[in-house]
Structure 1
Amino acid sequence: MDHQELARLAHLHHPVAAPLADDTVSALLRRAVRRGDERVLHLGCGSGAWLLRALTAHPQLTADGVDPDPAALTAARTAAEQLGVIRRLGLHHRAPTDFVPPHRYDLALCIDAAAPLGDPTAALTTAARHLTPDGTLLLGASFRQHPDDLPALVESITTAGWLPVHGHTSSRTELDDYAWSRTGSLTAWALEHPDHPAATQALQAAADQRTTWLREDRTALGFVTLLLRRPAATD
């Protein structure tokens, strides 16, 4: 079982692939979608949870999702067909850095709990290429639970020319729920499929992630989601 399949199993019972509660996801989307007819791009969309919510809530909105995992995109397409939004959703099987957009977007999402700590540079650069001048970026990033780390992260973003118009720092409950959901989903799948060739691998992955979370990351890591815009260009 490869990393992508393990990740899909780990996120079976969590609303999105990030430490955000269901209500938080809804609130962030309400702030991000300003008009309701936006063109939306999600870089690293996985099974499309964010885009499906936005498309369902806004009948005039259109969206594109980009992800290197074909099985996740298949799940996104199936869900979109069931929800009746597939005609407004484009799905692209490639790495986000290789995506060549057909047009500019009003809103881009880059919310990756596994992104390099404190290094949003690549996401900011990629989003800037794909957004309209007044477009909005919803960026999620991990940071170290050190007094200087979150300020330094935000400062690096503002130095790159982006300004936060809204933000959410994941709570201890959200962080714990995400960790327990990931490891629990893997464990439950392995227990329910004891004869599967990957059952032992899934149990070991869950144990490793659980140990790392409880012994290291639980007190060391945080997660912030920022809604970002750029000032209008001046001559």
Structure 2
Amino acid sequence: MISNVIFDCDGVLIDSEILSFAVDEKLLPDYGVSLTAAELARTFGGVAYGEMVLALNTRFGTSINAQRYQEHCEAELAGMFATELRAIAGIPELLSSLRVPFALASGSDLARLDECLSLTGLADFFEHRIFSAEQVKRGKPAPDVFLLAAETCGWAPEQCLVIEDSPSGVVAAKAAGMRSVGFLGGAHRHTQDADILRDAGAEYVADNSVDLFGYMRDLGLVGAFRR
């Protein structure tokens, strides 16, 4: 029985991934890599900068420095987030409707999470129940951040439902002994991405927040949709 929910952040709560991959598409040609934002999102959604850069260096024979590249991207993103970052449509209403305890577990660092949640008006929903991969040894697809969230909150992993937009996050949830739902509500995702989430182990793939609400309602996790 599900009695707790753990949300990923980027691409699930906030529409940040579309901005991040647009920056990658803009900057990567300077490093010898040409990929569209859609290609990057499908391949590297939920993947840390270091892992993405390692994969790109292997694929394209480049020698990108992961730390410098991340700093370059984050400098570009800072201004975009301040003016363009939004909560994904329907997410504040869904959070307001939840009947069970919930938390956030993300690959982003805590400082970025605090900033993004404040910018999008979601910070008060989570209070101290915010967990980052920087607090554990391994990021997703390892289960560490989900297990940290469950242990800290006093939840049994098998009673947790994870909401994720990336295959690596779904794999991490499965490794943690948790059920998961794939989410396509972020602007970086398309209906054809449902297959990569199902293949990773998602028990259901929701097209948007309304679809996600309906699935969670059937599990008894939410009440009336609060506007």
Superposition TM-score, scaled by structure 2 size: 0.38
The structure with more strand, counted as a fraction of residues = 1
Flag the structure with larger Rg. 1
The structure with more helix, counted as a fraction of residues = 2
Higher relative contact order (CA 8 A, sep 6+): 2
Superposition TM-score, scaled by structure 1 size: 0.37
